[in-house]
Structure 1
Amino acid sequence: MVAPPIVEPEPAVVLNPALPAQPTLPSLRTSLRASTIDGIFAAIFSNFTGGVLLTNFLVSLQISTAAIGIVAATPMLVNLLQPLGAYLSNRTHSRMRYGLMTYGTSRLLWLLLAIGVLHFSRETPQALIWVTLVVVLAAEILGALGNPSWLSWMAALVPARLRGRYFGFRNSIGSLTVLIAVPLGGWMVSHWAGGSVQGYGVLLLVGVIAGLISLAIQSKMRDINPQLELAQPWHDQGRSSIYSGLVSLWQHSSFKSYWFYWGLWTFSVNLSAPFFNIYLLENLQIDVLWVTVYNSLMSAATLVMLLVWGRLSDRTGNRPLLILVGLLVALTPLLWLGIGRDSLSIQLWLPLLFLFIGITSPAIDLCSNNLLIALAPAHHQATAFAITAAIAGVCGATGTLLGGWLSQGSEIGLVGIFGISSGLRLLALVPLLFTQEPRSHSLVQVIHSLSGGTQTLGAQWELQPVELEET
């Protein structure tokens, strides 16, 4: 299970239809097709340089659990730099060149690590651990600086009426890629003749190549000049300050309740989630090949259930599903306590546990983001999204760092952390009881609907098909 990510908001930036830069249908199709292929290679890069494969590499280096917690917390902490990335990118004249500069440099840093791993793989000196930590930090910082520009680029390219459908398809293709690539990568690392550390060095080379191919494919996408976006009369020029937006949002009782929910939920999830794979690899000493297979099962379940939860949330609302499914997700850490090293656990209970996580966790990710969008006031959307991302980053990083310290610097250990995480997750659901979502059904109605008692619940909210027309 991974920490529920914050999905970045759709920027308020859109292209003026009167501008000559408006894309034609052929150029739009070319850009979207290139972006989809880009997502395939980007998924390979991100999963070869992170996730369970990176965790296994760190465990092989005999790095401390606290240090692994720092690595897991880094992406959340650097999210605080995303406003700076937006500021810098808006002063350029090309989204493509800015992305090449930030993401290209970030991905080439991993090439340095790959060379270092291959050179020192048999000695595994302390210097290699420090190089790994520095590369992870620098790469994440560059990625955070590039993310706002990439999101604005995609928001300008993808028509608003197609965004949900297109990004759902793109994410599904990425999940399918992960489903295939991660087990193959785990098998290669596990069976590499020179050992798992050297095998990961070779895997990093493959990942970097995939990452560079991803950037090359982006050159087929239509470039966007941020200065044309900023010149539009309806673009938000920052007329309302962040402080005034914060004051306004704090007076919004439902949004304030959401902040309490999301902050505590992100903290409690990250208190334990980054250490599930460590528990398998280090405490139970399960081979990395099995762990990658489990994660792929989870990805497969997520791939299917995203479609199911998306349709169901349109019918019932997001808040009821968050409460109902959140109860199941809150109990998930306790299920790890009954797992052992016996064949029954490896071949039956662990696959079922990862499938359960893959079924339930997408509902939390999807509905949390949808509820945020539904509650954010139109006149303070950017401020609402930015502050929420900051809360998630700080709370998530604090949870990960505390979890790493408790697992190694106290008598609590990983087993105790799992129990604490479960209790805090249940507590995080309480603020949702005081959150009012527009067009949301009550818990009683939703339970009745899920049991089959209401066949027509939300039928009036059915999405109608949208055809792309030539402009």
Structure 2
Amino acid sequence: MRFGNTSEAKIRKNLRASAADGAAFGGMVGIGETYLAAFALAVGMTELTAGMVASLPMLAGGVMQLLSLRAVRWIGSEQRWILFGASIQACAFLPLVYAALQGEISSARLLLVASIYWGAGLATGPAWNVWIENLVPSRVRTRYFAVRSRLAQLTTLGGFLIGGALLAWGQSIGQVLWAFSIMFLSASLLRFWSVYWLSRHQPIERPDHPPASSMGATSSEPIPLVRVHGGLLLVFLAVLQGMVQVSGPFFTPFMLKELQFSYPQFVGLISLSFVAKSISLAYWASFAKRFGVKSLLWIGAVGLVPLSACWIVSQSYAWLMFAQVLSGVLWAAYELGFFLMFFEAIPKHRRIMMLTVYNFANTLAIFAGAAIGGWLLTMTGTTRESYYLLFGVSSVGRLLALGILASATLRPVPVIQLGIRVLSLRVGAGSLDAPVLASLDEGQDEADGLVSAESAA
């Protein structure tokens, strides 16, 4: 892999540093944020609060992203802004370590800490997409993102499994909160390790690539949503995501409190969905090349409709294992289809701004859906029948959202390499993801046509 002249050494160092950053971030995601709802339950909070902790704070990240493009100009560079946000995110775990050792934390403080975590993390997304596009040469992105993603996926899953093992150990000796303190301290250290590798990146000046600041990251030019058929797709995303979140945040309290699952059982179900989602991406990419992205999107969207209702049919562990595998496979189809259909149709110089709008709409929908679910749970009480109501309403809402998709004009788009940033693990979806816009670059190798899951910076 030759890059030419004096920049070759810098490029190689940057690629290694970015891979290390992705691996450290993946470990943090696995052992840290994913367990916030479980931690809320462990310190004696209600099932409703546990669901809110896993969903409402994400809106802070969506709002911060709207301000991030201006913040980059104020702070002077994408790298400085990313280092600042990543450092704040690492520090957000330290109050959780203290709370776990003390054995108590108020609901308001836990929500504040979670909001700081998501606000700092998501705010770096647009800047990171601009930055990584300038650092990674287009002709090596296909192979590079594939290797980096495999490493990040392994560390995400590894961190999650280690966290589950620590909780099982803590439960066996009656010290679950001590286990949480170790987990959150580990998450903080991993994010600080990620910050170190982010600081090791060196700027590259290449004649084949313009400066990051000129790539439209701060463009205020209006985005023609109608012309790129993105308007209805964005509305569909928001409505569907909102309906998903009516039930999504409450799967964890349902499993740990209502069904009395052990921590290993809880970890096993989420791991199954994540692994199934990761493995099936390559298959769905091949399917889309043969039958088209439109067909892929429709299969995923229709397939999501009954998933929450599957939890009403039976609560046997074997059945839920099957439901989680099916969930991971169908979410992979939906996300790949949506990302390709939505972002590929947007002109390259407007994608950063559109990613910001997309993420804000997504987090706003998560907030709204979780608020509706929380209200329903409050009105009906936290009984098993109350959870059944949430699962049923979620499935009906997903079905109704298909009417919006049917109204959208879906033009053919190419099936190309798509990097996906894993932001969090989720019970009903395998993971919460965002696209890596650099992987949509027309100049990269198209021979692979594969899809990789890319860990976030």
Q: What TM-score, normalized by structure 2, do the two folds share?
A: 0.81
Residues 168/357 of structure 1: CA separation in 2 closer, same or farther (3 Å cut) = farther
User: 2: CA distance between counterparts of 1:171 and 1:26?
Assistant: 22
User: 1: CA distance between counterparts of 2:115 and 2:259?
Assistant: 29
Q: CA deviation at 1:291?
A: 0.8
Greater strand proportion? 2
Q: One-letter code of the match for 1:389?
A: N
Q: 1:281 corresponds to which residue?
A: 256
User: 1: CA distance between counterparts of 2:365 and 2:194?
Assistant: 32
Q: 2:307 corresponds to which residue?
A: 332
Q: 2:329 corresponds to which residue?
A: 359
Alignment of structure 1 residues 64-463 onto 2, 5 Å: 64-71=46-53, 72-118=55-101, 120-121=102-103, 124=104, 127-192=105-170, 193-223=173-203, 229=211, 232=214, 238=219, 240=221, 242=222, 245=223, 248-249=224-225, 251-252=226-227, 254-340=229-315, 345-346=316-317, 348-377=318-347, 381-410=351-380, 413-439=386-412, 463=446
Q: One-letter code of the match for 1:421?
A: S
User: 2: CA distance between counterparts of 1:46 and 1:381?
Assistant: 26
Residues 316/45 of structure 1: CA separation in 2 closer, same or farther (3 Å cut) = same
Q: 2:437 corresponds to which residue?
A: none
User: 3-state DSSP class of the match of 1:375?
Assistant: coil
Check conservation: 2:11, 2:204, Cα contact below 8 A: no
Check conservation: 1:325, 1:364, Cα contact below 8 A: yes
User: 2: CA distance between counterparts of 1:321 and 1:174?
Assistant: 25
User: 3-state DSSP class of the match of 1:423?
Assistant: helix
CA RMSD of aligned residues (A): 2.9
Q: 2:422 corresponds to which residue?
A: none
Q: 1:12 corresponds to which residue?
A: none
Check conservation: 1:94, 1:224, Cα contact below 8 A: no
User: 2: CA distance between counterparts of 1:372 and 1:83?
Assistant: 19
User: 1: CA distance between counterparts of 2:97 and 2:204?
Assistant: 33
User: 2: CA distance between counterparts of 1:256 and 1:440?
Assistant: 16
User: 2: CA distance between counterparts of 1:391 and 1:298?
Assistant: 25
Check conservation: 2:130, 2:352, Cα contact below 8 A: no
Structure 1 unaligned residues grouped into runs of 5+: 1-16, 442-461, 467-471
Percent of matched pairs sharing the same residue: 21
Check conservation: 1:175, 1:299, Cα contact below 8 A: no
Structure 2 unaligned residues grouped into runs of 5+: 415-444, 450-457
Structure with max Cα Rg: 1
Residues 164/282 of structure 1: CA separation in 2 closer, same or farther (3 Å cut) = farther
User: 3-state DSSP class of the match of 1:73?
Assistant: coil
Q: What TM-score, normalized by structure 1, do the two folds share?
A: 0.78
Moved more, 142-151 or 323-332: 142-151
Alignment of structure 1 residues 42-61 onto 2, 5 Å: 42-51=25-34, 53-61=35-43
Q: One-letter code of the match for 1:336?
A: W
